[in-house]
Amino acid sequence: MSAADVESRPSPIAGLGLFAKREFTEGERISRYSGVTTLEPPSAASSGGKVYALEIAPGRWLDGTSEDNPSRHANHACHPNAELIWHEEESEAWLTARRPITAGEEITFDYGFSLAESLFHPCACGASDCVGRIIATPLRPALRRHLRFSRPRD
């Protein structure tokens, strides 16, 4: 597993995506999510307009904005093929395959956004059951209820 195993290129989901250059097996580490650990979440203004930050513990952030972090291009999907796992003993985060991934396939993970965060982040993953917002899997039913009851009535 190395940066040579993945590539960033235009994605049908959004902007640049992260794509597998070889096959990965379930449970295999795909790419390290590298960056600087901070005590404040990076802002869009401080990171050139996009935020590539992970909250790895309450009040502790991993800023993945650096050009040498290809994992920052992994998009969100409602049915992701990878997950981002923080390994405390190594102080590293890794994209890890949730299922077998084929060469050329886009690597995606669940961003885990809260209900409030989801309202500002549309999802374009294309899944038939996509709720249209980037939101953590366990919170999707709550968002569906919210959207159902907040629509104008006839």
Domain-terminating residue out of 95, 110, 125: 110
Helices and strands in the chain: count of H runs, count of E runs: 2, 10
- Looking at the structure of the chain, the number of domains it has is 2
The CA angle 58-59-65, to the nearest 5 degrees, is 110
91: left (phi over 0), alpha (psi -120 to 50) or beta: left
**Confidence at residue 105, expressed as pLDDT on a 0 to 100 scale:** 96
**Confidence at residue 44, expressed as pLDDT on a 0 to 100 scale:** 59
Token pair listed for 145: 């209820």
Rounded average pLDDT per 10-residue block, the chain, 154 residues:
80 91 95 82 62 76 80 89 85 90 94 76 86 80 68 54
Same domain for 128 and 106: no
**Confidence at residue 119, expressed as pLDDT on a 0 to 100 scale:** 75
Same domain for 100 and 50: yes
Which of 121, 98, 86 has the alpha carbon at shortest distance from 15? 121
Same domain for 116 and 91: no
Number of Cα atoms under 13 Å in the Cβ half of residue 98? 12
**Confidence at residue 121, expressed as pLDDT on a 0 to 100 scale:** 81
What is the 8-class DSSP label of residue 133?
B
Same domain for 136 and 62: no
Same domain for 118 and 103: no
Q: Which amino acid is at 53?
A: A
* Domain extent at residue 125: 112-154
**Confidence at residue 30, expressed as pLDDT on a 0 to 100 scale:** 94
**Confidence at residue 112, expressed as pLDDT on a 0 to 100 scale:** 78
Same domain for 101 and 118: no
Same domain for 43 and 29: yes
**Confidence at residue 43, expressed as pLDDT on a 0 to 100 scale:** 65
What is the 8-class DSSP label of residue 154?
-
